[in-house]
Chain A
């Protein structure tokens, strides 16, 4: 098994890791310590004090609130989307591209879906305007609750780390 330095993992997060190392990461068995190093690299990047429990996206995390010890979904900018078990999208700002005009803002003519069939739903952070997700469903489709991680099992049984404290 290969292992990598904290610096290399930090470069991976930044997208600045050299190809040779990236290729080694791809082709060699996985390094189980990556998760810890990943958390460290991300924690060093963010401006908030809350402890990152699980990264969800490039700017979105499940964190342990420093004040309350509750686990919440939180943006880079510190905006809180609510309890980590809830669908954060329900607490986001949404813009739906459901007309041809709105679609041709982003794709050339004929190269976007027909909005009678499919729409694009863009979910933004209400504070900083980061686009955290783009859904591409039919009209009427429920907002999808993408991911419900089993964080306890992951920490305890899979990566052998203590589960961060959680107040409910």
Chain B
């Protein structure tokens, strides 16, 4: 008959237990809350009764996930996926809690889980239905994705007609069809310019992508070839993992598999608490970080006047490690979200920290949602890391995520240091930029977009027993790789005129931060080409540690009307290699005197025009330093000088090194003279210093008189408006009069969003998933 069956009316009974997915998930949440153990599992029956079987299952699944990632990535053509490894596959249980994940950008442990939970909470099982062979695609940042360029394919796993789990695969695509090209573009100031946005859409049935999806998605982005191969990569990986699960169940039985899929999460929860107890120290840690959002400059061309202001993102973090090994991360006082693309969803934050933690606190294969259950997060609603408005842009959430987490890393490093695990100390991370992005018509005559992932090899932070690594890593991808010049030159119409270690980019210290690197690119064989810069310039996002300095900030160099075509033709000198000392620029001596050069700290720009033979310097930042620089070994300074990691002027001024240079240019540091110079430096320091409390009186006067740049006052005003606690503590610290206040309206800058906002949860028929204290 022409009537819907019970199934079509809404109750799919996917679990074959009479419960909806939501009812089943609610039960797990309740049991977890009531007992403190994930799903109420005080005892881990399978693991305890058959530890070998349990471990075998673990190894099979984890091995299969890693293998699927390695195999699937060969399908992709995008160098971001194929060279940089910006992909990841994750296995979930039926409620979307992560069981195990592959290597790669494992920030997505939680983001794809959030998408599954969104489908569960919004009754996707009734409409559009969840069936064997379905595929769902998601990149929606308002329900948990980090930024729109991370596209996730999610496939349900059924066994004998019953839903038993999910597998998700994510790749970082080169272009999302945003206002400007590149995967993390800057021109837009709202979600509506962030590009193609897909909300858990059913994009495939019977293991086949739907034609409307294929047609629509490919024409919605600038790089359809890369797009479609990325999709094939994700689908292939998901299907490999689904087969792996079927194989495991055939071998070990469905009962064992399902027990495993819940017990391993409780095991992960306990694992994190054990690691915290084994490595850290209970107490309170307070750290803070910032990053600059310089949008007032004329080279930031945005469509909305209300976004034209300089602002600062603020991320104070109080980390409490409790005696029982649980920890609480509280971001009270954070500044408000803004009209830019650097906002982050709460899940981007809570899920993202595991990509960092697997590099320090939990360097194991056992990363899953257990870690989330061992952590209390507090991200106040309305802040940049938990926006309360459905219009926010997220294309480059990383701009501040990496910095916001820096505070955690420094807190943990303090605990490692105090406990004597000096080998684990890491002063922090590089601000992983610059991002060279842009697009136009490439060397093959096709519409194209580029996003150089050289930023995946920045300098690392210094350790308490050794220097940071030069041009080695990025916090968001533990397996980062700078990529081969030859591959980038195929992917981008930009020739390399240099690729060098960036001198002085690592933060100074007894152990210095790793240096970043710089590549000089010349536009070649492109048409109607554009590029822009994205990174930190006016501020540093990470600090040094225990007397070490932060790393160097970014700056930009670009040159137009260079005359290089002619200079190459006549064999004249060319700008080659690094921009060794920006105090004494050299590139300008090898291009036409009439060239248009931009050399400044404006490291955030929008799409600008580039002709062939124009230049662009891609400078990838260094890491922060550890310990007082005048404790640095003279030999280490000598080595830095000879390798051009450090300019001689700063070896003297910062390190107190006294040295000579021989006829061949080789530096030799004089140990005795250096020691004598350092003794003088200690006296010079004290001669120029004030007792802290004396200085505080001066600073207090400046606050009373509201003497600070607008962006600084703006940052405080947005934090004050969101947090009474932060305001109180600020006023108490500076002993400010009770009636002292600072409002955005005083500052004569646009204040859109300061009073009137509307959250996604206020849309009809939408249930948002909240996974933090707000």
Let me know if B702 and A114 touch, CB within 8 A: no
**A140 and B284 alpha carbons, distance in the complex (Å):** 23
Q: Are A154 and B278 within 8 A (Cβ)?
A: no
B691 touches A93 (CB 8 A): yes
A46: CB under 8 A from chain B? no
| A34 within 8 A of partner (CB) | yes
* B428 CB, min distance to chain A CBs, angstroms: 10
Known A114-B601, A117-B712: A108·B647 in contact at CB below 8 Å = yes
Q: In the complex, how many residues of chain A place their beta carbon closer than 8 angstroms to a beta carbon of chain B?
A: 78
- The answer to whether B715 touches A138, judged by C-beta atoms less than 8 angstroms apart, is yes
Nearest chain A CB to B752's CB is how many angstroms away?
Answer: 22
B417–A149 CB distance below 8 A: no
Kindly report which residue of chain A lies nearest to residue B633, judged by CB atoms.
A15
Question: When the two chains form the complex, which single residue of B544, B546, B601, B693 contacts A58, counting CB atoms closer than 8 Å?
Answer: B546
Q: Do A134 and B547 touch across chains, with their CB atoms under 8 A apart?
A: yes
- Produce 1/0 per residue, B269-296, CB < 8 A to A: 0000000011101111111101010000
Q: Of residues 550 to 571 in B, which have CB atoms within 8 Å of A's CB atoms?
A: 550, 552-553, 555
Shortest distance between the CB of B751 and any CB in chain A (Å): 20
Across the interface, A107 reaches (CB within 8 A) one of B650, B688, B690, namely B650
Q: Does B510 contact A (CB under 8 A)?
A: yes
Instruction: Please give the distance in Å from B653's CB to the nearest CB on chain A.
Output: 6
B439 interface residue per 8 A CB criterion: no
Contact of B712 among A13, A35, A139 (CB under 8 A): A139
**8 Å CB interface, B595-625 against A:** 599-601
B349 in the interface (beta carbon within 8 A): no
Distance A132 CA – B628 CA, assembled complex (angstroms) = 7
Do A118 and B653 touch across chains, with their CB atoms under 8 A apart?
Answer: no
* Minimum CB–CB distance for A89 against chain B, Å: 6
**How far is B335's CA from A141's CA once the two chains are assembled, in angstroms?**
14
B556 nearest CB neighbor, chain A only: A110
B539–A154 touching, CB < 8 Å: no
Q: Is the CB of A139 within 8 A of B582?
A: no
Q: In this assembly, does B422 line the interface, its C-beta being within 8 Å of a C-beta of chain A?
A: yes
Judging by beta carbons under 8 Å apart, are B286 and A124 in contact?
A: no
The answer to the question of B382 belonging to the interface, with a C-beta cut-off of 8 Å to chain A, is no
**Using an 8 Å CB-CB cutoff, how does the interface string of B688-717 with A read, 1 for contact, 0 for none?**
111111011001001100001101100110
Chain A, range 123-168, C-beta contacts under 8 Å to B: 123-124, 126, 128-151, 153-154, 157-158
- With an 8 A cutoff between CB atoms, is A116 at the interface? yes
Q: Is the CB of A3 closer than 8 A to any CB of chain B?
A: no
Q: Could you tell me the distance between the alpha carbons of A60 and B703 in the complex, rounded to whole angstroms?
A: 31
CB-contacts of A51-79 with B (<8 A): 54-60
B323 touches A15 (CB 8 A): no
| Those of B340-390 within 8 Å (CB) of chain A | none
Pair A32/B539 contact, Cβ less than 8 Å: no
CB distance from A10 to the nearest CB of B (A): 11
Interface-side segment among B135-143, B258-266, B663-671, B727-735: B727-735
Q: Are A124 and B685 also in contact (CB < 8 A) when A89-B692, A111-B555, A140-B716 are?
A: yes
Is B550's CB under 8 angstroms from A136's CB? Answer: yes
- Closest B residue to A137 by beta carbon equals B288
B196 interface contact, C-beta 8 A: no
A106 and B654: CB pair below 8 A?
yes
B153 touches A (CB below 8 Å): no
Q: Check B424 for interface membership: any CB of A closer than 8 A.
A: yes
Contact with A along B112-146 (1 / 0, CB 8 A): 00000000000000000000000000000000000
**Across the interface, which residues of B come within 8 angstroms of A137, CB to CB?**
288, 290
Residue pair B582, A22 in contact (C-beta under 8 Å): no
Q: Which of B414, B418, B716 has the most CB of A within 10 A?
A: B418
Q: Are A93 and B689 in contact (CB under 8 A)?
A: yes
Q: Which listed residue, A39, A114, A134, A136, touches B538 by the CB 8 Å rule?
A: A114
A149 to B546, CA, bound (A): 16
Q: B686 in the interface, Cβ–Cβ < 8 Å?
A: yes
Query: A9 within 8 Å of B by Cβ?
Result: yes
Residue of A nearest to B314 (CB): A138
CB–CB A94/B691 < 8 A: yes
Q: Which of A22, A105, A114, A134 contacts B465 (CB 8 A)?
A: A22
Task: Take A22-B465, A157-B323 as given contacts and tell me if A111 and B552 are in contact as well, using a CB distance cutoff of 8 Å.
Answer: yes
- Please tell me if the beta carbons of A117 and B504 are within 8 angstroms of each other in the complex: no
- Residues 97-115 of A contacting B (Cβ, < 8 Å): 104-114
Answer yes or no: A90 CB below 8 A from chain B CBs. yes
B6 interface contact, C-beta 8 A: no
Residues on the B chain within 8 Å of A130, using CB: 547, 628, 682
Q: Does B631 contact A (CB under 8 A)?
A: yes
- The answer to the question of A80 belonging to the interface, with a C-beta cut-off of 8 Å to chain B, is no
Q: Bound state CA distance, A89 and B696, in angstroms?
A: 11
Contact between chains at B599 and A135 (CB < 8 Å): no
Residue contact B631 to A111, C-beta cutoff 8 Å: no
Given A134-B549, A142-B730, A129:B284 Cβ within 8 A: no
The reply to whether A133 and B546 contact each other, CB–CB distance below 8 Å, is yes
A129, B685: Cβ atoms closer than 8 Å: yes
With A12-B423, A58-B546, A58-B627 already in contact, the answer to whether A113 and B693 are too (CB < 8 A) is no
Do B702 and A30 touch (CB < 8 A)? no
- Complex Cα distance, B422 from A38, in Å, reads 10
- Cross-chain pairs A/B with CB under 8 angstroms, 16 sampled: A25-B421, A29-B278, A93-B689, A94-B690, A94-B695, A96-B695, A116-B712, A118-B539, A130-B628, A131-B630, A134-B547, A144-B286, A144-B287, A149-B283, A149-B418, A150-B282
**Residues of A in contact with B (beta carbons under 8 Å apart):** 9, 12-13, 15, 17, 22, 25-26, 29-30, 32, 34-35, 37-39, 54-60, 89-96, 104-114, 116-118, 120, 122-124, 126, 128-151, 153-154, 157-158
